[in-house]
Homo-oligomer: A and B are copies of this chain.
């Protein structure tokens, strides 16, 4: 069953396909009176926009967003905000091969088993172009939380990790990889170039940190802050794993090393001596930075032929021509940020609903 709405009170619904005339998001539940214009949204879309370096797809999409409703005299009215982005560069090409055989790693086979047929042009609805709508919606979410700073960056590309000792926040926007380690960024240029030339692709790990989240957002057990984040991140194309705080590494700690000890702080707030928990305990924010890591598989669209079958069940080989990101993980960083913002904005309003705070 198709459920393209995400969130509980601050919600967004997305629509659109890779090769349709447009795609969009409807943001519902936004508080009234918030200053909002296309200029608040466009910069975030530009960060995710394709074709900005040789390390991403060469599809040229300006990704200009239009606000079609929900804003009056520069402020949100409290009613649905419709955001639309036109598709410009849907290159006409021959899709007969993709239409007839299933691309391993793609959703082709699963889609066809579910729906009986599929929109094979550029992946249809399963295309990562849909994430532009998330980024647009996420930029509205950010406007609700001026005290929260959200940052996503790659900590690993093609198996090559950053050196945490070289972490430099200011580097993230200085290279085409959202990489906080300048040395790693240089190595990754070679990695991605090589993969692209080989007709191969690479995976990545993105870390996202939200600072300024007050203690108390979230809920116990179900609709936990971490559970909502996990659902949000796993809903992004190509994501295969999600960690909160130390994540899988926490399973190797002992109870006493994993405990984030607390000390009295100068401002009446506690000082935590560590953040193994990633800012979430029992499903509720602790006031520490919220830390999420997501693993993205390598782009499934590759120029290397792979064994498959066609729609008649006959053995075939297939490679995916066209313009593709050699590493979808790169452009996913702004998308991960957007999903973090969308979950947090929803949680902020839910917390206010229950507690009045």
Contact = CB atoms under 8 A, between A and B. Distances in A.
A283 to B, nearest CB: 7
Contact of A82 (B16, B75, B158, B299): B16
Given A69-B16, A253-B298, A306-B261, A313 B124 contact: no
Given A216-B113, A254-B200, A353-B9, A259 B300 contact: yes
A307 B262 contact: yes
Given A125-B77, A205-B251, A350-B353, A105 B270 contact: no
A145 interface: no
A256 interface: yes
Contact of A77 (B104, B115, B281, B353): B115
Query: Taking the full assembly, how many copies of this chain does it contain?
Result: 4
Interface stretch (A38-46, A55-63, A168-176, A223-231): A223-231
A251 B221 contact: no
A211 interface: no
A186 interface: no
A100 interface: no
Contacts of A9: 1, 8-9, 350, 353-354
Interface residues of A, number: 155
B241 A242 contact: yes
A286 interface: yes
Contact of A24 (B82, B219, B277): B82
Interface string A209-237: 00000111111111110111111111101
Contact of A220 (B107, B254, B329): B107
A123 B156 CA distance: 37
A107 B250 contact: no
27 contacts: A1-B223, A9-B350, A72-B121, A77-B118, A77-B124, A79-B119, A105-B255, A107-B281, A114-B218, A158-B254, A195-B254, A202-B254, A203-B250, A203-B252, A205-B248, A227-B235, A231-B231, A231-B234, A240-B247, A243-B295, A253-B298, A255-B304, A256-B304, A261-B307, A262-B308, A264-B313, A349-B354
Given A158-B252, A263-B315, A286-B110, A243 B245 contact: no
A210 to B, nearest CB: 15
Contacts of A81: 15
